[in-house]
Structure formats: C-alpha cells, structure tokens
Structure 1
C-alpha cells in the first residue's frame, strides 16, 4: 500500500517508454530482447514453449514482483495454500519490483511464467489488446465477492476479463476527527460546500488542504478526482488512453475548477513531499488532505482512531460522486501458458476467499479485493475504506496506471507542476499536453 518516497524512485517504478510503448522498434527487437533477458536471468520466465500442452502437469509457474519481505512471504503462503488444496505445486519466480516492471514487455513476448503479477486498468488493457495476455473470462464465472467496479477494472477493450484482483487502496479526503469536532466542521456534499469549508478553515488559521508535489505524482490524484467528478469515468479513461483531446472544453473546465481551489491548498507544494504534507495534517496544521489510504502511515498508533475521511464531493449532479481512484494489484495469465488448466486453477484460488484470508492474516496493512474475506481484524478506518470502494460505481487506477507510463512521467509530471506554479495559462498548457500526447500515442 506504500507509495515511492522520492521522485527518482517514482520514475524508476514507471515502465520506460521503450517498454510501455511497444512501437515498431520494440516489436522488432522483442525476440532478441527476450533472449537477452533470459540469458542474463534478469526476468526469465519458467513457462514452456508454445507447443507445451501441460496435460497432466502438477506444476504452475508464477512470475512475481513481490520482492519486499512481507509481500514475498505472503505470496509464498498463498502458494502453499493452493498447493495443499489442489495438489499443484507453484514455482514462484520473484524479481525485484522495478526490474520486473522495466522488462515486462520483453518478458511477455518471450516465455513468461504461466501467471504473473500486474495491475488493473490501462496497464492490463495495454497488454491484453496486444495479445500478450490470456483470456480468463471463464475464471470469472467461478469467482464471487467482487463488485461490478472491480470486474470492470479487470476487463479488456474486447469485453473479456484478463485480470484477477487481489488487493487495493482508495484515495479520499482525510482529516482528524478531533480538529473537526473542535471547530464544528461537517463533511461537504457539494463543491460549494467544499469551498465554504475551506474558507472557514482559513479563517480558523488552518491550511484548508494539505498539499505536496515535490515527487511529481501526488497532484495526479487531484486531477483524477476533478476529472471524474466533472466529466465522468468513461471520459477520464478515454482521455488517459489518448482517445480524447486535452484541449477540449471538458478538460479546460477541470483546470479552471482546480485553479479556483488552489488558494485553499497548502502553498509551496513543489518543495514539499507527501510525507511532509501528511505531517501537517498529523500536527493539526491542515484541515484536510486528498491522498491514498497510506497517509495513515504518518500517524502514531494512538492517533489512528482520530483519522477519518470522505470521498471528494459531487460537482455535477448528473455524474455524482461514486467513482474514485483505488489502484488495484492482482494477477494475469500468459497468452500461452505451459499449463493453462493449472494457471486458471491458481487464478481461481487467488481470487477466492481462502487466499484473501491468508493475505489478511499475514499482511494486516492490506485491503483485500474479495468482499467475502474475514475482515473482522480491520480497523474502523480500513472497514470504512473497504465500504467506500465496495460502493463505487467505477474504479480508476490513478493517472500513472491509467495511461502510458512515458506520457505520465515525461508529460504530465512537468505539466501539473507548471500548472501549480502558474495556473494562469491553462490554454497554453493544454495545447502543449495535447501536442506531446499525439507524438507519444502515435509512436
């Protein structure tokens, strides 16, 4: 559930243009690149050749980016649970998180593992559309405990499912209950309410909205939620996929609205990390903070019960306030797994209640996607977060997951930082974004 600590780490986690783009050059280089990776063991899959049937096999391979100690241990326990219930042994191929992402394209074009860890939304659809992932729609017919929004986030452009969710975390507006009780604040239901609340917080000597964008990605969350509230989920994902124009009146309205809210934001955001902004909320210097659930990491154990949140309020009554950012991590299947039957058995198990309960027992900091899991150990904050996501009509994956990583890193980071620094030339900014988008999405 953690976010990168610095802009350098953030950029390292994004798939480079040569990987994400899958342009003519990368297609031509694919076979050679995959061979080189296999030769070095950098991201070598355990999958077999295309001719392998896997009939009667009692093994399945799993490519994993869960290289940190806790998630690595949890996945091993999930694999052990699957083996115990099915008799099928899981060979886990764990690769450093960044290395996994940086080499995913060549990996999938070579001989990938039968099942591999990945992300919902655009990053899933990208590889599904290029025939580099297997259709798992029949697995979904055996799954339960997932909302329609989770299924939508697991569905490719062709209407088939290519992804099984495991865990997630939502974005919302967080605050300290004690501060709000002291001043008599109420959760806003509309943008007018939100503005009025911010104005009152200013009068009370608070920074209305804690804000930071030194590391480049936090402001993406503000853009996402405003676009979702003003233009709706479908326009948002189409814009992220390069199908809509950044110069449209719809996008201009998002930035105009944001410009009106900027005076409520903590000043000098470009020199502040998200942790520092979270500390201003923790220290009761700021009244609200739009961020992911990981904001709770910055609070002491005895302060956890003082944290609450609300989803960003409605802006257009015809669109409502049911869509939100909630990045989802999970699993996909290779396009031609060595053992398709075992791969689908593993995915069905991973998407089931037993696997979710293993995750919850061994990683209490995680929110599991399956609503049938035993969440009795959740804190009040996590229970509310799960309810929020469960009630969402659509789930966006956050800007840097919903679009091409090269567009996110080379275009949107500097563009949003430029806007924060000088919000007056919105037209010029959007023209620049659109021109760069055309260049990147047509490469």
Structure 2
C-alpha cells in the first residue's frame, strides 16, 4: 500500500487528520452530502494514479466529490492507530487479515454489511472470509491481491544459462553461481522494516508449514523453540547472497538493481513491477515461487489482499459506503487495473481480457495454492510486527544472530495485553 502525498509531498498524519476535520465531511452532517474524504497510503506513482482513476470513475458515475489525502506509505501504516482515533478520513486504504480484524475489534472502523449485500456475490468465499471481523460483520472490501515470489529478468537468465530452482539447495547453488558471475544474487532491501518479513514468512512456511505460520503469528506457538531457530538457520544460508547494503535500501531502490541487470532475482510482491517503466524491461520480467524446503512443497503462497475500509466517522456517510461498493465492482477494479497492472483484480466479473501472460501466471499461482498467507504484519498483532519483528529482523540482517527467547518474552507480554 502507499501513503498519500497531499499536493506534491507527503504530509504527516496529524496534518491529514487536521485536513479531514476541516472538510466537514463524515459524521451526521455528511449523511446527506455527496462528498467524502479518502485517506490513502498508496503514495508511489503508479498506485497513486490508479486510485485517482478510481476516484474519477466513481465521481463521473455518481456525481459525488471525493477529496483524496495521500500520505507516505510507511507513515500511514505505522500511525494508523493514532489516525483512526483522531479525525480520520471517511474511507481509507488498508489490508485484510488480522490487521483489519484488530481495528474492527477496537471499534475504530465501521461495518459495511450493507455494501456486501450488493457486492458479495462477486467475491470468492475466501475473500469474503478475509473481509470479516471476529464479530461476523464485514469491515473490508478487497480491491486487489498479489503473490510474493522471486522475480527475475529472463534475458539475464538466458544469457547466463540459469534455470528455475525448485528446491532450497538449488536456490543456494544458483545464488553462488550468480555471485561468481558478478551479480548480486538476491536483491534485498529493508530500510523500511517490513520487506524482510516476507522472507521470514516464506522460509517459515516452507520449513514448518502454513499452519505453524498462522499459529506463530497468533502466538499459539512459542517463539523460543527449535522450529523457529530452524527458520533463521535456513535464512543464514541466504544472507551471503542478499544485498550487502539492504538496511540502507528501500524496496524501490533494490528493484532498480534488478531492472538494471545488476541483481539476479528479487523476493517481493508483484508490485515490484511498478518500478519498471521501460516496456522492454517490464516484458523481460518473469516469476517463480519460493522453492521447497521441508514440508508442503510450494502449496503455501504469500498473497496479501489490499482494499478499502470505513472509519467510524465514515460509517455515517452514505457517499463513503457507495465508494466502497464501487471499488467492489467490476467497473471500480477495472479502473484501478487500467493504471496499475502489477496487481490482480478480485471481483469475479472483472474483465481480465487485458491480462498479460505474466498476469495470468501470477493469478494461476494464487488459484493453485492450497494455503494463502497475508504477510506477517497482517497476520500478527500490529505491535508484534512493528515493535518486535522489525528491529529483530534488522538486527539479524546485520550480524546473523537472533534471540528467540527475547522474541517469546515480548510476544507473551504483547498478546497478554490484548
């Protein structure tokens, strides 16, 4: 997700809240209005323009006026609790999974069951479940989803004679060959903290299985056990082949090394292709799932779902409800996809005739998966993801050490406080 930059730059959430408060939308006074505010964390160029296309199509259809407030992605995500308790926008970009259910459970967002009565038939049972809070009410409308995996340039691999690895040992062997060929084998960036979680999730699911991932993120399993230590031991085999300056790189900067042919592959979500503006480079990108390690083969896929929610204030604004219904329609998702082709539409009746072979391959990986995870910071308690895992993983990337005992003691305290 991206954070919306107001005018030409990013604004703080405090400024965003102040702006929202000044608009006079939401609340009882806005119930009969034809206006709403939309808080977006989609601050990168492509998704920002994609949501602008959605807003334009919605306004053209309904006559409603939408004021979009864009905040830098990480700022939006890291300050969402403060944002929702302050003066939030009516509608806002967010994620499915635990991170949706958590704020629904805190009473900080509005249910949208009325919207789902209109759009529910166009979504799969899995997407409907991912949009449901612990109280059985719907709080989220999916816009798109996207798989995580290894992305690479076909021309580079063909020139070097590389083949897609299906086993973890093969991945390590390939990385060694790439390194000897003068490439950074695995582009890697963790300046923003969250990208490393995707590597942890995949190694964990491939080592211990999907259910262990879900139980660990729910703290039904202890962090201080051999299964968790095995994850980091496996990861240590990849550390010598990841970007050496990863903690100083954003994911966008790491993507540029892949696009320039300086890196052999990159483990990230398919949104990575937003960075390849040269059509020749974009057409040269291919993808393979994270290889098998120990259990379940490659049946588990990390495929987060992004979409929209309503703040508690936005629940009183009919225009905001209508906006969510629009993003849950074929027209709304087609408007988004017309600009951002790195993600996959979730509505069954959306026109996929413009899907490229690459889009179809990505969609097939999700469709064939037996288990779909939502990414660590969406499946786990927010405080566990932000306050514990980010510094722990960044420390591991520095020196290859991890204190699982400390992870467990912090997890105990945080989950017990919920």
**Coarse TM-score class (shorter-chain normalised):** 0.7 to 0.9
User: Using the alignment, how far apart are the partners of 1:100 and 1:207 within structure 2?
Assistant: 31
- The 2-side partners of 1:216 and 1:110 are apart by 25
Aligned 8 A contact 1:65 1:117 in 2 = yes
Q: Superposition pairs for residues 309-320 of structure 1, below 5 Å?
A: 309-317=287-295, 319-320=296-297
The aligned residue for residue 40 of structure 2 is 65
Query: Does 2:57 correspond to 1:75?
Result: no
Question: 1:34-433, aligned counterparts within 5 Å?
Answer: 41-42=20-21, 46-49=25-28, 59=34, 61=36, 63-65=38-40, 70-71=49-50, 73-80=52-59, 82-83=61-62, 90-98=64-72, 104-105=80-81, 108=84, 115-137=91-113, 139-140=115-116, 142-202=119-179, 204-296=181-273, 297-298=275-276, 300-317=278-295, 319-334=296-311, 346-364=323-341, 367-423=344-400, 425-426=401-402, 429-433=403-407
Tell me if the contact between 1:60 and 1:339 (Cα under 8 Å) persists in the aligned partners.
no
Q: SS at the partner of 2:238?
A: helix
Q: Does structure 1 conserve the Cα–Cα contact (< 8 Å) formed by 2:3 and 2:41? A: no
1:96–1:302: structure 2 CA closer, same or farther, 3 Å change rule? Answer: closer
1:383-424 Cα deviation digits (max 9, x unpaired): 33233334344443333344344443332222112212222x
Structure 1 position 283, deviation (Å): 3.8
CA separation of 1:223/1:107 partners in 2, compared to 1, >3 Å: closer, same or farther? closer
Query: CA RMSD for the aligned pairs?
Result: 3.9
Per-residue CA deviations over 1:202-246 (Å, capped at 9, x if unaligned) read 455544323333443332221121122233334324433444321
Give CA deviations for 1:309-342 in whole Å, capped at 9, x if unaligned: 111122234x332333333321224558665877
- The CA deviation at 1:251 is 1.6
2: distance between equivalents of 1:131 and 1:253?
38
Partner Cα separation in structure 2 for residue 37 and residue 171 of structure 1 = 31
**Deviation readout 1:96-129 (Å, 9 max, x if unpaired):** 4257656654665578666443221222111122
Distance 1:378 1:2, change over 3 A: farther
Paired with 1:156 and 1:207, the residues of 2 have a C-alpha distance of 43
Q: 2:251 & 2:313 partners in 1: Cα distance?
A: 41
8 Å Cα contact 1:47-1:112 kept in structure 2:
no
Contact 2:145–2:346 (Cα < 8 Å) also in 1: yes
Q: Which runs of 5+ in 2 are unaligned?
A: none
- Secondary structure of the equivalent of 2:229? helix
**Which whole-Å CA distance do the structure 2 matches of 1:251 and 1:378 have between them?**
39
Asked if residue 438 in structure 1 is aligned to residue 394 in structure 2, the reply is no
Give the secondary-structure state (helix, strand or coil) at the position aligned to 1:189. coil
CA contact (8 A) 1:210 1:265 kept: yes
Query: TM-score normalized by structure 2?
Result: 0.79
SS in 2 for 1:416: helix
Per the TM alignment, residue 306 of structure 1 is displaced from its structure 2 partner at its CA by 1.4
- In 2, distance between residues paired with 1:200 and 1:71? 39
Kindly tell me: are residues 247 and 186 of structure 1, through their superposed partners in 2, closer, same or farther at Cα, counting changes over 3 Å? same
Aligned residue pairs: how many?
405
Partner SS for 2:408 = helix
- Give 1:174 shift: 0.9
Q: Given the two structures, how large is their TM-score scaled by the length of structure 1? A: 0.75
Contact 2:271 2:342 in 1 (8 A): no
What's the CA shift for 1:353?
0.9
Specify the structure having the higher radius of gyration (Cα). 1
1 CA distance for matches of 2:22 and 2:369?
Answer: 36
Maintained 8 Å contact 1:112/1:334: yes
Partners of 1:436 and 1:224 in 2: CA distance:
19
Distance between the aligned counterparts of 1:351 and 1:239, measured in 2? Answer: 32
